[in-house]
Homo-oligomer: A and B are copies of this chain.
């Protein structure tokens, strides 16, 4: 008995679902801001502001106003704008270092133990809006056991565009229904379901800190609903 019969590949939203982006960005922002003697700026607020520019930047690509542009480039443009907002000057090397904080995020404590249990029976890959280098550097640093790095750059489309999901299944040589998206975000799962994928919700109640107001529960009857990657492994008989 498994919650996802017929599913051969599990693909994962990454920022928020696999890794804790907010505390990871804040960690490196804290040391950056200290070097610039800007202790007036809260590193967590800095992380939130940076992240807030993420959807509008991708929207320019999704709408066709801009050709496909990898996330490292969008993150960097957003960082440059954020530093300008705060009147911070920093040289190229420092900006590049801070931009690559997105490559140095730590997984939630249950993520790697859960993936290691899921891996013998499933093909595992990120289906993230992060670019290949970002996701591969993150995996190499943290030891995340992906079988391949998939996502927006491989599909040349940003979630929640349908092509991000369908092209990922195509690369895997599978029907959409043989692939399940694992995500902490109801909106991502809704788009995946519309594209024909199976869906698994994993609760991440602290992605946005203690005052998180979104994604505290499953909004639909997703094919699997779990409190952690280890609980998901349990439900899949792994």
* Chain A interface residues toward B at CB < 8 A: 70, 72, 123, 125, 131-133, 135-137, 139-140, 147-150, 153-154, 171-173
Contacts and interface: CB of A to CB of B under 8 A. Distances in A.
A175 to B, nearest CB: 14
Contact of A140 (B123, B132, B136): B123
Interface-centre pick from A135, A148, A172 (highest chain B CB count, 10 A):
A148
A171 B147 contact: no
A171 B131 CA distance: 8
Work out how many copies of this chain go into the complex: 2
A55 B140 CA distance: 34
Contacts of A148: 132-133, 135-136, 148-149
A149 B123 CA distance: 14
A148 B172 CA distance: 15
Contacts of A123: 136-137, 140
Given A72-B173, A140-B123, A132 B153 contact: no
A158 to B, nearest CB: 16
A85 to B, nearest CB: 25
Contacts of A172: 133
Interface-centre pick from A123, A139, A173 (highest chain B CB count, 10 A):
A173
Given A133-B171, A133-B173, A173-B72, A147 B153 contact: no
Nearest to A135: B148
Nearest to A120: B140
Contacts of A131: 171
